[in-house]
Amino acid sequence: MSTQEADSTSTAPAVVGKLSTLDRFLPVWILAAMVVGLAAGRLVPGLGPALDAIAVDGVSLPIALGLLIMMYPVLAKVRYDRLDTVTADRPLLVSSLLLNWVLGPAVMFALAWLLLPDLPEYRTGLIIVGLARCIAMVIIWNDLACGDREAAAVLVALNSVFQVIAFAGLGWFYLDVLPGWLGLPQADLAVSAWQIATSVLIFLGVPLLAGYLSRRLGERTKGREWYESRFLPRIGPFALYGLLFTIVVLFALQGDAITSRPFDVARIALPLLAYFAIMWAGSFLLGRAIGLSYERTTTLAFTAAGNNFELAIAVAIATFGVTSGQALAGVVGPLIEVPVLVGLVYVSLAARRRWTRHPTPGGTP
């Protein structure tokens, strides 16, 4: 064993020992939050409709609150003075755009038709999920996997711009035009640019602005050392509190629908599992192949694999109704995505240990 490997092995228990109870047992807390949400939605009469009623312009306020609490601490950690190094990384930016807006929707379209040929409502719902690229929860998965925070901020901002511009057009293409070319049944998608822009503004714009102002004002008044050593550790745990709160609310909203149709959920889960595996592994291998660092490769993989389930669910409900199969497919999205991407966080961290022993030649710093 080399000296570097020995040092890494000897310090591993110390690093684990420094983690808080919340961090060390995160998968347990996430599973518990999912169970609590599903049980509450199933057992508490009227809870789902009551939570769903707390909405403004189709946006669930409880979910919005949870996501804002979750994203703010992570975005407050971003070093905004380093963003120019990300925008100058053309291989990263081009790869992300191709993965998110060319490959991702195409992969979900193919999987939905291959695995759900007899279930048109669920198939349409999954295609909508594939079109909604992640701009929210991916921030925390990336942070847990020790990805590049600055790169994540740039890529989710890039996704948000393309989401406003391209979502409706891609929906028309994948639900109407392409099926028509292939001689398959077609569907329509009624979604406005304002609805998409509202989702982007709430789920990314507000916490991004809050994080930016916190760093600028905090460093200006107290200095960078105080900001990073005193302020950030205090707000850090709220990211995971917000994540757990969001999961409870999300699954409580549709707990009855999910638990009363387990076979349908299993059918919807199959293409989702294949999608996450293909997109994450393919993106990770691509990042390695083009010489990105571990941090930016991880960011590329998570931003390509994640989806904006908030937008997908809102669009499905607005177009097809809250009790539709399309809406159920949207709800099953995070039911599968959350545990799978948590698992991929640990896969990333394992790859990181291997990466440091065998670094990519010429990788970006």
pLDDT tens-place string over residues 80-100: 988 898 999 999 999 999 999
Question: Residue 11 in 3-state DSSP?
Answer: helix
Q: What is each CA distance from 311 to 50, 104, 223, 335, in whole angstroms?
A: 20, 16, 38, 15
Rounded CA-CA distance 250/52 in Å is 10
Which tokens hold the place of 56?
Answer: 């403004």
Domain parsing of the chain, residue ranges: 22-40+47-355
pLDDT tens-place string over residues 155-192: 999 988 898 888 889 999 999 999 999 998 988 776 77
Rounded CA-CA distance 267/280 in Å is 21
pLDDT tens-place string over residues 197-236: 877 888 788 888 999 999 999 999 999 999 999 999 999 8
Amino acid at 286: L
Rounded CA-CA distance 348/285 in Å is 12
Strand 55-56 relative to strand 59-60, pairing: antiparallel
Sign of CA dihedral 190, 193, 194, 196: positive
Output the CA torsion 158→304→72→40 (10° steps): 130
Question: Residue 361 in 3-state DSSP?
Answer: coil
The torsion angles phi and psi of 323, rounded to 5 degrees, stand at: -100, 10
pLDDT at 355: 84
Task: Collect all residues with Cβ–Cβ distance below 8 Å to 17 and sequence separation of at least 6.
Answer: none
pLDDT at 22: 65
The torsion angles phi and psi of 292, rounded to 5 degrees, stand at: -75, 155
CATH topology of domain 22-40+47-355: Na+/H+ antiporter like fold (1.20.1530)
174 and 186 Cβ atoms separated by less than 8 Å: no
Rounded CA-CA distance 330/332 in Å is 6
Rounded CA-CA distance 219/223 in Å is 4
- Compute the average pLDDT of residues 10-23: 48
On the CB side of 8, CA atoms within 13 Å amount to 12
pTM above 0.85, yes or no: no
Question: Residue 158 in 3-state DSSP?
Answer: helix
